[in-house]
Amino acid sequence: MMKIGNVELENNVVLAPMAGVCNPSFRILCKEMGAGLVTAEMVATRALQHGNAKTRSMLKILPDEQPVSMQILGCDVESMQLAAELIAETDAQIIDINMGCPANKVHKAGSGAALARDPENAGRIIEAVVKAAGSKPVTVKFRKGWDDENINAVEIAKIAEQAGAKSVAVHGRTAKQMYTGHADWSIIKAVKEAVNINVVGNGDITSPQKAVQMLKETGADGVMIGRGALGNPWIFKQVAHYIATGIELPAPTAEERVAVALRHTDLLVEEKGEYVGTREMRKHIAWYTKGLFESNRFRDEINLIESSQGLKDALHRYLETLLARAAAEVTV
C-alpha cells in the first residue's frame, strides 16, 4: 500500500500518463488489472483556459477507474492555477504536473521537460497549483535532466517538496534521450535519498522482476509503468502480485488477449464514437496481438478496417486461427 497525501492506494504500481492512450477506457482496464493508481493523459492548461471543448472533455472521469491522477501541462502560473482550480472540482483525486514530456512541440512552448530547465518558474508553478488544488494532493513528474550535461532531477525534487508536492515520479532518461537507450535508475535513488516525500520510479519497467529490481536498487516507494502496459494491462496485476508474494503469475493466453481487446473496443467506441473509437482502437489491437502468430499480417489487416464490428469480427477470426494452429501443434 502507498499513500499520496490523503489518498490511499491499494498498491504502489502506477499507470504512467501517455498522450493518446490514457483515456478513461484504457484507465478502466488498467485499474481492473490491478493498477493502484491510474494517471490521465496530459491536459494542456492554456486550452482549458480558453475553454476548448475537446480539452475540457479530457477531464471526464468514470467511477470504475478511481483513484485517478489528472495531469496538467503548461508553463505559466496563471493557466496552471486555473487548471488546478477546475480539476479541484472534478472527481480526480490527485493533480499531477507534467515536467517531463520531451516532445518537440511541448518543450518548444516551454512546457513539459523544458519547464524543469527553469527551476525558479517551476517552483512558483508548483506552489500555485498546490494552493489551487485545495485538499487534493499535488505530484510532479520529471526526467533525469535535459541532457547529459544538465542533470537536475535532485534539484527539481527538492523544489517540488518545498513547494508542497506530496510525491514525485522520476523518469531515468534525459529529455534529449526521448525513449531511447536505457533508463538510469541511479538518479531515482539519488532523488529518494534527497527528499522526504514519496518517490515513484519510471523507466524500463517491463516485467515484475524489473519492478522489484528497481525498488531494491533505488529505494523508491513505487513504480510507474508506461510503454510496458501497451497491449498488456495484465502487467499491473503481475507486478503487484510479484512485489507482494515473490510469485510470478502466468502470462495472458491468446484467448485472454483477444477477450480484453474486444472489451476495449466496446469501451473506446462508447467513449469516443464509432469513427474515432474504431481508428484509435487499431493501434491497441496491434499492441494486444504483438508477438503472436502472423501478428504483422494481422496488423496490416486491421489498419484497413473502418468499423468497430469489423474489428471485432477480425479478432474472432484471428483467435480461431491461433487456436487451430495450437491444436495442430499438439497433435503433431
pLDDT at 1: 77
Q: Among the options 22, 30, 75, 101, which is catalytic?
A: 101
Q: What structural domains and CATH numbers belong to the chain?
A: 2-245 (3.20.20.70), 254-331 (1.10.1200.80)
pLDDT in tens, 91-136: 999 999 999 999 999 988 899 999 999 999 999 999 999 999 999 9
pLDDT at 54: 84
Distance CA 242, CA 249 (A): 8
DSSP character for 63?
G
Do 4 and 167 touch, CB atoms closer than 8 A?
Answer: yes
267-271-272 Cα angle (round to 5): 120
Is the pLDDT at 37 greater than 70? The verdict is: yes
pLDDT in tens, 153-195: 999 999 999 999 999 999 999 999 999 999 999 999 999 999 9
pLDDT category of residue 203 using cuts at 50, 70 and 90: very high
Amino acid identity, residue 219?
G
Which of 64, 34, 88, 62 shows the shortest CA–CA distance to 72?
88
Which of 145, 94, 101, 95 shows the shortest CA–CA distance to 119?
145
Task: Tell me what the pLDDT averaged over the chain comes to.
Answer: 94
Partner residues linked to 99 by β-bridges: 142
The mean pLDDT of 213-236, rounded to a whole number, is: 97
Expressed in angstroms, the distance from the first to the final Cα of the chain is 48
> Catalytic residue at 75?
no
Torsional class of 139: left (φ above 0), alpha (ψ -120 to 50), beta (otherwise): beta
pLDDT in tens, 57-83: 888 898 889 999 999 999 999 999 999
pLDDT in tens, 256-283: 999 999 999 999 999 999 999 999 999 9
The mean pLDDT of 319-323, rounded to a whole number, is: 93
Q: What are phi and psi of 95, to 5 degrees?
A: -115, 125
Distances (CA, A) of 266 to 221, 255, 276, 306: 35, 17, 12, 14
pLDDT category of residue 331 using cuts at 50, 70 and 90: low
Is the pLDDT at 249 greater than 90? The verdict is: yes
